[in-house]
Amino acid sequence: MTGPFDVCCVGETMVVLCPDPPRPLAQAETLVRGIGGAESNVACYLAQFGVRAGWASRLGADPFGAYVRDGLQAAGVDCSLAQTSDSAPTGVYFKDPAPGGTTVHYYRRGSAASTMDRSLWTDVNARGARYVHLSGITPALSETCADLVRYAFEARPVEGAMVSFDVNYRARLWTPSAAGPVLADLAARADLVFVGLDEATLLWGCTAADDVRDRLPQPATLVVKDGEVGATAYGPHGTVFVPAPAVAVVEPVGAGDAFAAGYLLAALRGQAEKVRLTIGHRLAAVALGSVGDVAVAPAAEVLAMLEPA
């Protein structure tokens, strides 16, 4: 792939190990490996629709790093901006399925991705992108990662790019009291923000979508997702709500990333807000019905949902 990206996603991607067949991790004798990372999940979904999707990060010079790079490239994601570290490993996490839901165990402290710093933006800017997509996971990884994200919002180092931000709060990385002010400040500086109402409740005490907009009046577009209820977008178009379709949930991991990808796909095609939210819901439904972090999207069906230009 040459030329600027439509979307460049920046953040950590790890190897994920899951019991096969699904069962509590303590009882598992066989694990299958896969790839998981919020930002690269978005890139993988976008690539399924022919979007010029890139992923920038840092991997260890180890077999897991090679596995991640090869897997993302096979999914159609441009990994040419993913750096390799000789001094830190690729992160790993384990899924622990249980009747009450799946728990995730991270082994990412000191990972190669945690050593990312603002110098990464030099390569992204040289390549160019219409959108840069980040999440609230990255600033929790290390001080240099937090600086990388702050710099993206404050200096706008990728010339002409819109900045998309998924709040994506992870309780295993930091507490609500630590994360709340940081994530609110970052979201306030973004052009496009995705946040779950459940996250906003934990972080800022919001109990309704309108409360979130009151807390974050600055972003040009704010999308508040309320699980099985629906999603509300606030922006130049006014306020638009689209209910979520009924879905049989297999596993919720990755649904937010799929929603963001669907929204960005429609935004790249110049679609109205209702279509953006509708396609976000459709891809989220695909993710909810799958055990993997990235499912195969019904490309023809989704593209048929786009309105004529």
Number of domains in the chain: 1
Read off the tokens for 192.
Answer: 């496009």
Q: Is 300 left (phi over 0), alpha (psi -120 to 50) or beta?
A: alpha
Read off the tokens for 228.
Answer: 């099985």
CATH number assigned to the domain comprising residue 112: 3.40.1190.20
User: 51 in a domain, yes or no?
Assistant: yes
Q: Whole-prediction pTM value?
A: 0.95
User: 304 in a domain, yes or no?
Assistant: no
- Confidence class of residue 309 from pLDDT cuts 50, 70 and 90? low
The predicted-structure confidence for 93-128, as pLDDT tens digits, reads as follows: 998 988 887 888 999 999 999 999 999 999 999 999
User: 55 in a domain, yes or no?
Assistant: yes
User: 300 in a domain, yes or no?
Assistant: no
Identify the active-site residue in 6, 166, 226, 257. Answer: 257
Closest CA to 82 of 62, 57, 104, 65: 57
User: 308 in a domain, yes or no?
Assistant: no
What is the CB neighbour count within 10 angstroms for residue 22? 15
268 residue type, one letter = L
Measured CA to CA, the distance from residue 258 to residue 295 in angstroms comes to 9
The predicted-structure confidence for 51-94, as pLDDT tens digits, reads as follows: 999 999 999 999 999 999 999 999 999 999 999 999 999 999 99
Query: Does the pLDDT value for residue 33 go beyond 80?
Result: yes
Q: Is 117 a catalytic residue?
A: no
User: 205 in a domain, yes or no?
Assistant: yes
User: 302 in a domain, yes or no?
Assistant: no
Domain with 111 in it: 5-295
The predicted-structure confidence for 202-219, as pLDDT tens digits, reads as follows: 999 999 999 999 999 999
Say what percent of the chain tops pLDDT 70.
99
What is the CB neighbour count within 10 angstroms for residue 184? 17
Measured CA to CA, the distance from residue 277 to residue 292 in angstroms comes to 23
